[in-house]
Amino acid sequence: MIDKNLLGTWIRRFLLEYLVGERNLSRNTQASYRDTLTLLLPFASKRTGVAIDKMTVDDLSVVRQFLDYLERKRHCTGVTRNQRLGTIHSLARFIGRNAIHAGQAD
């Protein structure tokens, strides 16, 4: 049985179904979203102490810390920080919208 809370499944669906299938975003935009997640997941894993492949949606509760990290440690501008936040918002909306439908299928 697949755990619907595991983040890996949601990330895969977000990148393939949503960005490519539903939104048909440009390759550069898809790469930007992917890059955000490439930074976020290891950061969240380290902060929560949970391996990336075991992370759940709840393990992304470190978003504010991640945004602070982008500004302070990676010296990203506010524009870049907000772009990364937009990606996280899109992922959260995707999960929220689709989790409701997944729950109805049970």
**Distance (Å, whole) CA 4 – CA 51:** 17
What are the tens digits of pLDDT across the range 41-63? 999 999 999 999 999 999 999 99
Residue 46 Cα to chain centre, angstroms: 15
45 part of a folded domain: yes
Instruction: Report the pLDDT value the prediction gives residue 103, as an integer from 0 to 100.
Output: 55
For residue 66, give its domain range. 7-94
Is residue 89 assigned to a domain? yes
Give the CB-side neighbour count of residue 102, counting CA atoms within 13 A: 13
pTM of the predicted model as reported, rounded to 2 decimal places: 0.86
Question: Is the residue at 15 inside a domain?
Answer: yes
Number of domains present in the structure of the chain? 1
Query: Tens digits of per-residue pLDDT, 80-90?
Result: 999 999 999 99
